[in-house]
């Protein structure tokens, strides 16, 4: 069995990253010109990495599936980005951000990685301001902050309700500058379908040109995967339509470990599902929980009246409202972490207190905030979100409380990486949401933007040099090598096979069925029997997909149905691995909740004695069970405790 080596540097926690940088191997400027790096993805992690590597002098080939690098799904992040600046003088520090993140992740992340993340968080804000990112400011001209779930300080920087957009456009502008200089060669509307290994090292990728349908080969000295997460496995999620797990999944199938696949985040504040035709779910920023109060009725008869449409939220008098987060978690109230808030909403709805026609919604109420601050202030803070809500639901949130329900949002799990962000395949790196590294079992709000940019601007550009320093003698590769030949042929065979099934089911109809299985069995509450059933159901569905899917058109041409089919083929397998991982992890932690493992009060019950590890899954071949390797988490600097947001 392979040995897991996370390559964490020696020394005290606060000195590890400094020591690493002081002793890592570097590549001199003349040699950087001779080295090529493929970066797949142009979100916060991909764009910032591609730009930074090109600025250093490397030649970068950058790929994205959209028509422009500016459209990656990071653009949709709303709320903000954390940093330990302590500009608000509320006692924040690098250590406190580190501690909140480790605790928020329910003690399933690596201490050294998280500390480094907190350390570079401040550089990110400096960098973004220098690029012209228009963060919110106070009248004195200095930067404004707000607070987010899981923290008792105000450390979140924001640009109205579109922080992700502004940060991504900052990274995109830096990337555009390098494309203009010719240091980055940009390939839009290209989808990575495989990674190519030569002598055990990642040396290139195979892509499909989404306009021509042509299969293309690209070679480089190293490959960086920054392709985001895999929660579209659930069909309905807050992710963009094209977000997918295929690039990461192909890396897994070539030997890269997949870590903690069961750890996905269900975001508490999304607009509830309304019908079968729905294509995606819309997130309402977590920042709304700063001023909005979450409640359901205290009386079942009121809930029934709401479900039947006989009453509206404003008809329920104050004394009959159950502000259940404030009741259960007095210290954090409506600002508990996402996993806690989501489960609490499910608990109330399961008990029959849901407030819409499906019974799967709770209220998020701004009437107190409007009384306290005035409508104008609320409008200034959240106006665009309120408008969006009204456009979708046809209800005015200034007058009647919003309805929200949890939805799939983010994957904490992903490709396993060591401290250098390298996967278990030499020369193959994974950054941003695509890797598993920093969020443990649950990600805190405003930490995804921080991690994506930390990896891309400040971590990978250093650590990749440690790998590339002994590659300077390696000449550029030809894509005529037999390894490229074989990878391309395998892709073409796979496409031909899909095109020739000519069955009766559409890709979306199978994807929706996959989503139902995932939500019912591998969603917010999981149990042994349900997971075992799910594994069998997913195997059956996969069989059906490969024998009964129908894709019109041709494989050698633009074909949007084929694009979806290739992704769904992988989602079916990702779902199965998620179920396996959830089955193995017989404890509740963060976003992973096993009903057999809860306290009397219904809180998550961890088993640190048995599961204080990262589950790293190794692919063994088609129709063979994967093998699970453990990376033990040795907490040396903090003592894992039961998360307590009550006091």
Partner 1 sequence: MDKDIKVTLKVWRQKGPKAKGQFETYPMEIHQSVSFLEMLDILNERLVKEGKEPIVFDHDCREGICGMCSLYVNGHPHGPATGATTCQLYMRRFQDGETITIEPWRSAGFPVIRDLMVDRSAYDKIMQAGGFVSVNTGGVPDANAIPIPKKDADLAMDAAACIGCGACAAACKNGSAMLFVSAKVSQLALLPQGRVEAARRAKAMVAKMDELGFGNCTNTRACEMECPKNISVSNIARLNREFLKAKLKD
Residues 339-378 that bind partner 1 (CB under 8 A): none
Q: Is 269 in the site for partner 1 (CB under 8 A)?
A: no
Q: Name the DSSP letter for residue 3.
A: P
In the region spanning residues 135 to 174, those forming contacts with partner 1, defined by CB under 8 A, are 135-143, 159-160, 162, 164-166, 169, 172-174
Part of the chain binding partner 1 (CB under 8 A), chosen from 92-100, 413-421, 523-531, 550-558:
550-558
Q: Is 323 in the site for partner 1 (CB under 8 A)?
A: no
| Minimal distance, residue 175 CB to partner 1, in Å | 9
Distances (CA, A) of 115 to 13, 14, 419, 443, 634: 7, 7, 11, 15, 14
Contacts of 105 (CB under 8 A, 6+ apart): 114, 412, 438, 439, 440, 441, 442, 443, 444, 590
Q: Is 55 in the site for partner 1 (CB under 8 A)?
A: yes
- Measure the CA–CA gap between 37 and 223, rounded to whole angstroms: 6
Nearest CA to 247 out of 263, 226, 278 is that of 226
Binding partner 1 (rule: CB under 8 A), the pick from 44, 94, 117, 125 is 125
Binding partner 1 (rule: CB under 8 A), the pick from 11, 12, 15, 241 is 241
**Which tokens go with 524?**
């917010």
Binding partner 1 (rule: CB under 8 A), the pick from 44, 51, 538, 612 is 51
Q: Is 560 in the site for partner 1 (CB under 8 A)?
A: yes
- The contact pattern for partner 1, residues 200-239, with x = CB under 8 A and - = no contact, is -----------x----------------------------
In the region spanning residues 1 to 30, those forming contacts with partner 1, defined by CB under 8 A, are none
In the region spanning residues 456 to 515, those forming contacts with partner 1, defined by CB under 8 A, are 457-458, 461, 506, 508-509
Identify which of residues 203 and 511 has a Cβ nearer to partner 1 in the complex: 511
Nearest CA to 38 out of 56, 8, 64 is that of 64
- Measure the CA–CA gap between 161 and 287, rounded to whole angstroms: 9
Identify which of residues 90 and 483 has a Cβ nearer to partner 1 in the complex: 90
- Measure the CA–CA gap between 205 and 371, rounded to whole angstroms: 57
- The contact pattern for partner 1, residues 171-190, with x = CB under 8 A and - = no contact, is -xxx-xx-xx-----x-x--
Catalytic residues: 338
- Looking only at the bridges linking them, the beta strands covering 428-430 and 222-225 are parallel
Identify which of residues 285 and 588 has a Cβ nearer to partner 1 in the complex: 285
- The contact pattern for partner 1, residues 395-434, with x = CB under 8 A and - = no contact, is ----------------------------------------
Identify which of residues 103 and 116 has a Cβ nearer to partner 1 in the complex: 116
Q: Is 646 in the site for partner 1 (CB under 8 A)?
A: no
Contacts of 536 (CB under 8 A, 6+ apart): none
Q: For Cα atoms 134, 136, 138, give the angle at the middle one, nearest 5 degrees.
A: 130
- Measure the CA–CA gap between 412 and 436, rounded to whole angstroms: 6
Q: Is 610 in the site for partner 1 (CB under 8 A)?
A: no
In the region spanning residues 64 to 123, those forming contacts with partner 1, defined by CB under 8 A, are 66-71, 73, 75-76, 85, 87, 123
E-assigned strand segments in 226-277? 258-259, 264-270
Provide the 3-class DSSP secondary structure of residue 577.
helix
Nearest CA to 575 out of 199, 230, 257, 140 is that of 230
Identify which of residues 75 and 94 has a Cβ nearer to partner 1 in the complex: 75
């Amino acid at each position: 069995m392979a040995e897991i080596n996370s390559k964490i540097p020696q020394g005290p926690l606060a000195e590890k990253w400094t020591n690493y940088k002081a002793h890592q191997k570097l590549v001199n400027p003349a040699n950087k010109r001779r080295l090529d790096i493929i970066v797949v993805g142009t979100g916060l992690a991909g764009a910032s990495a591609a730009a930074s590597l090109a600025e250093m002098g490397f030649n970068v080939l950058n790929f994205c599936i959209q028509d422009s690098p500016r459209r990656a799904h990071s653009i949709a992040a709303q709320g903000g980005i954390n940093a330990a600046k302590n500009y608000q003088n509320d006692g924040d520090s690098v250590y406190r951000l580190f501690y909140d993140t480790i605790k928020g992740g329910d003690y399933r992340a690596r201490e050294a990685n998280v500390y480094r993340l907190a350390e570079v968080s401040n550089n990110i804000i400096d960098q973004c301001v220098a690029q012209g990112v228009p963060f919110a400011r106070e009248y004195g001209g200095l930067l404004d902050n707000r607070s987010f779930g899981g923290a008792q300080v105000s450390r979140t920087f924001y640009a109205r309700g579109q922080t992700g957009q502004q940060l991504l456009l900052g990274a995109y502008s830096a990337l555009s500058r390098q494309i203009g200089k010719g240091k980055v060669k940009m390939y839009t509307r290209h989808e990575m379908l495989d990674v190519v290994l030569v002598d055990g090292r990642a040396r290139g990728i195979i892509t499909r040109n989404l306009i021509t349908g042509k299969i293309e080969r690209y070679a480089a000295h190293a490959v960086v995967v920054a392709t985001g997460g895999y929660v579209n496995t659930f069909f309905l999620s807050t992710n963009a339509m094209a977000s997918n797990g295929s690039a990461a999944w192909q890396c897994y199938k070539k030997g890269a470990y997949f870590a903690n696949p069961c750890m996905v985040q269900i975001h508490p504040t999304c607009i509830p599902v309304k019908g079968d035709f729905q294509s995606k779910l819309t997130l309402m920023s977590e920042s709304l929980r700063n001023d909005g109060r979450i409640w359901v009725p205290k009386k079942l008869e009121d809930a029934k009246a709401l479900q039947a449409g006989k009453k509206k939220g404003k008809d329920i008098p104050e004394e009959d409202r159950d502000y259940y987060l404030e009741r259960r978690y007095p210290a954090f109230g409506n600002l508990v972490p996402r996993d806690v808030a989501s489960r609490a909403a499910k608990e109330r709805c399961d008990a029959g207190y849901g407030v819409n026609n499906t019974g799967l919604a709770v209220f998020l109420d701004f009437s107190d905030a409007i009384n306290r601050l005035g409508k104008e202030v609320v409008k200034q803070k959240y106006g665009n979100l309120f408008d969006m809500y009204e456009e979708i639901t046809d209800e005015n949130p200034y007058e009647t409380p919003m309805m929200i329900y949890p939805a799939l949002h983010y994957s904490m799990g992903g490709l396993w990486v060591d401290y250098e962000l390298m996967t278990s395949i030499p020369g193959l790196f994974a950054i941003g949401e695509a890797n598993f590294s920093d969020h443990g079992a649950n990600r805190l709000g405003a930490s995804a933007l921080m991690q994506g940019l930390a990896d891309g601007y400040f971590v990978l550009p250093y650590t990749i040099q440690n790998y590339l320093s002994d590659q300077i003698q390696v000449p550029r590769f030809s894509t005529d090598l037999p390894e490229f030949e074989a990878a391309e042929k395998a892709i073409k065979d796979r496409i031909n096979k899909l095109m020739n099934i000519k069955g009766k089911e559409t890709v979306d109809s199978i994807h929706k069925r996959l989503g139902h299985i995932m939500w019912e069995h591998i969603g917010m509450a999981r149990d042994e029997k349900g997971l075992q059933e799910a594994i069998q159901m997913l195997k059956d569905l996969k069989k059906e997909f490969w024998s009964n899917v129908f894709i019109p058109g041709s494989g050698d041409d633009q074909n949007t149905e084929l694009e979806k089919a290739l992704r769904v083929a992988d989602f079916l397998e990702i779902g199965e691995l998620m179920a396996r991982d959830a089955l193995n992890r017989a404890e509740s932690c963060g976003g992973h909740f096993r009903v057999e493992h809860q306290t009397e009060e219904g809180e998550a019950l961890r088993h640190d004695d048995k599961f204080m590890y990262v589950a790293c899954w190794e692919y063994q071949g088609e129709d063979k069970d994967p093998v699970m390797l453990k990376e033990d988490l040795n907490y040396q600097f903090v003592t894992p405790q039961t998360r307590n947001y009550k006091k």
